[in-house]
Structure 1
Amino acid sequence: MNLAAIDLNLLVAFEALLEERNVTRAGQRIGLAQPSMSSALTRLRALFGDELFIRTAAGMQPTVRALELARPIGEALARIRATLAPDTAFEPSTAYRRLTIAVTDYGDLVVVPPLVALLRQDAPGIDLVVRPIGDAAASLAALERGDVDALIGGHLPDSARIVRRTLFEEDFVCIRDKAHAVSLTPDAYLRLPHALFSAGGDGSPGVVDAILAIEGRKRRVAVTLAHVVAVPFAVAGTDLVATMARRVAMLFADIAGVTLTPLPYDAPPFAIDLLQSRRATSDPALAWFLATIERAGRSL
């Protein structure tokens, strides 16, 4: 392909269309009137031999080819921008930008609060959007496309196209009503009725169930809950026991009236990770933001 014959501004139009999913808004974003933006889309389709964006009731939806192009085009534009402005320093205190992360329930409760505190202190002009990680594979794909800037949570999938950093390690504890504040033996743990957090409320086995299965043992789950914040309040005032991540349990112990006791089985700690795309290296603002997430993690 002869680059001299290509208008590289078409790539800027592609990027705007991918992010806005609307021809008019994409044009406004890069300073083109609607007819000019429509013309740019026509030329993009001819350039790549694909429809790229299909008009639907939900907006202009990217084709498979457009999604394949999203990352390399985004990285190329980021490198061009960084090259043309190599000495432009990012100043958090005066910056205005919108950043998006996707987090698990754990990340929402434990990591996001100190992150927000740091942003409000150091970069009050930064707007943060926090999305839930429902389908981990879909969230990873959104990160690879550039729809989100980072993922935070435990047990997140791998990809050769992302960079993974461990923020810290977490472990499990048991919670019980304060009237039952005694350490549990393995047998006593199994005799008790359990409350289980299961995203979606489907009762899928967790890490503890896998450990018990190795020993040929099984616990009785008396209550299955779809939201982790409901677990301590369900346990309070009952004979239930629940197994939770330590930092989440600590957040709600006093409020709910429960106490923490050791898990009487050897469950290995697990990592809470930060996942980022490789484009962060060419974006000073994004690099600063990811470093700030790490600072939030170190404070826990």
Structure 2
Amino acid sequence: MSVRSSLWKSIIGITIIVPMNLAAIDLNLLVAFEALLEERHVTRAGQRIGLAQPSMSSALARLRLLFDDEILIRTAAGMRPTAKALTLAPAVSEALGLLRSALQPQTIFDAASARHRFTIAVTDYGDLVVVPALVSLLRNEAPGVDLTVRPITDAADALAMLERGEIDALVGGHLASSRHCLRMRLFEEHFVCVRDAGAELGSLDAAAYLARPHVLFSAIGGDGSAGAVDQFLAARGLQRRVAVTLPHVVAVPFAVAGSDLIATMAERIARRFAQSAGVAIEPVPYPVAPFDIDLVLRRKGESDPAIAWLAGLIRRAVAS
């Protein structure tokens, strides 16, 4: 089956019932449709695909005729897609992806000889657990490839940067989602408790857990905002006292050491710093759910050999 017929069947298979003559359709309109649905702004959509505002407005008018639908409607909150446009959008993007893949030169990314720079954004967790292993693999297998690591301080901002192509990947837990991005689960992480290794605190049962003062890691820092543990306890009518809130997870075990404080944190980070910080690790006396560490890529980056290689390297890094 040809790319063009596959593309068109992908589109008509969902919403278009009346047969159309494909030869009479300007496929550039589908590129305009995709940009309009993603940007939801005529001028920005035009800039994205290299069309002036009048030309993009003309494309929107032609799309409205083609699909017999308004596609975008103006509201007080800005341009919003119609229900039909939202139904069409996944099929159009899939069809254009087929076309882009078919037209893209079949190249490979030769990591051993490449001169390239990747930029990724990571949470504190990703920085401590994933990045060291990733750097080790990178230096061994791709000495000419450079890596810039940025912090994720705001999940929505980081996702927007990924969508704009300013960064190549996101790594961490509790990341934002987008229909323009692909999320891959790397592994599952569990919570543990840490306490001063030399303190005589007795058994850390459920009652003792609530009675002790706690250290909380909060990426936004210093406001005592509720974490996953607090949400779990609140759902059961329970509450702990958060005595100290810290903006960096690496500081948590060192704050616990030498004090009467305890903390609940990701197991891999706790084990990495337990000996150097002088803390002991114990199970959490409540069944707090684990969380996923994910890799997020732009869907349009899937066909890029360099991005595909980077994604594979990250998966291998966490497997090690």
Map Cα deviations across residues 165-197 of structure 1 (whole Å, 9 max, x no partner). 100000000000002375411100111111111
Q: TM-score normalized by structure 1?
A: 0.73
Residue identity opposite 1:186 in structure 2:
A
In 1, are the aligned partners of 2:170 and 2:297 still within 8 Å (CA)?
A: yes
Residue identity opposite 1:188 in structure 2:
A
Structure 1 residues 77 and 215: alpha-carbon distance in aligned structure 2, compared to 1, 3 A threshold = closer
CA offset at residue 281 of structure 1?
A: 2.5
Matched, 1:285 2:291: no
In 2, are the aligned partners of 1:93 and 1:124 still within 8 Å (CA)?
A: yes
Percent of pairs identical after alignment?
56
The count of aligned residue pairs is 242
2:210 alignment partner in structure 1: 190
Structure 1 residues 97 and 48: alpha-carbon distance in aligned structure 2, compared to 1, 3 A threshold = farther
C-alpha distance in structure 2 between counterparts of 1:204 and 1:233, whole Å: 21
In 1, are the aligned partners of 2:125 and 2:172 still within 8 Å (CA)?
A: yes
In 2, are the aligned partners of 1:183 and 1:261 still within 8 Å (CA)?
A: no
CA offset at residue 82 of structure 1?
A: 7.6
In 1, are the aligned partners of 2:123 and 2:173 still within 8 Å (CA)?
A: yes
Residue identity opposite 2:216 in structure 1:
L
Matched, 1:143 2:162: yes
In 2, are the aligned partners of 1:196 and 1:224 still within 8 Å (CA)?
A: yes
Structure 1 residues 46 and 264: alpha-carbon distance in aligned structure 2, compared to 1, 3 A threshold = closer
CA offset at residue 47 of structure 1?
A: 7.2
Residue identity opposite 2:105 in structure 1:
A
Residue identity opposite 2:192 in structure 1:
V
* Residues 208-287 of structure 1 mapped to structure 2, 5 A cutoff: 208-287=229-308
Q: TM-score normalized by structure 2?
A: 0.69
In 2, are the aligned partners of 1:78 and 1:279 still within 8 Å (CA)?
A: no
C-alpha distance in structure 2 between counterparts of 1:180 and 1:117, whole Å: 37
C-alpha distance in structure 2 between counterparts of 1:130 and 1:118, whole Å: 15
C-alpha distance in structure 2 between counterparts of 1:2 and 1:195, whole Å: 60
1:199 corresponds, among 219, 226, 232, to 219
In 1, are the aligned partners of 2:97 and 2:300 still within 8 Å (CA)?
A: no
Matched, 1:83 2:103: yes
Consecutive unaligned residues of structure 2, counting only runs of 5 or more, are 1-24, 29-46, 58-77, 80-91
C-alpha distance in structure 2 between counterparts of 1:178 and 1:46, whole Å: 65
CA offset at residue 138 of structure 1?
A: 1.0
Consecutive unaligned residues of structure 1, counting only runs of 5 or more, are 5-39, 51-63, 66-71
* SS of equivalent residue, structure 1 residue 180: coil
1:169 alignment partner in structure 2: 188
In 1, are the aligned partners of 2:218 and 2:247 still within 8 Å (CA)?
A: yes
Spell out structure 1 runs of 4+ moving beyond 4 A: 1-4, 43-50, 76-82
| Structure number, greater radius of gyration | 2
In 2, are the aligned partners of 1:94 and 1:123 still within 8 Å (CA)?
A: yes
Residue identity opposite 1:124 in structure 2:
P
1:102 corresponds, among 94, 97, 121, to 121
Residue identity opposite 2:211 in structure 1:
R
C-alpha distance in structure 1 between counterparts of 2:176 and 2:156, whole Å: 7
C-alpha distance in structure 1 between counterparts of 2:98 and 2:138, whole Å: 23
Structure 1 residues 173 and 2: alpha-carbon distance in aligned structure 2, compared to 1, 3 A threshold = closer
C-alpha distance in structure 2 between counterparts of 1:270 and 1:118, whole Å: 25
Q: Please tell me the root mean square deviation across aligned C-alpha atoms, in Å.
A: 2.9
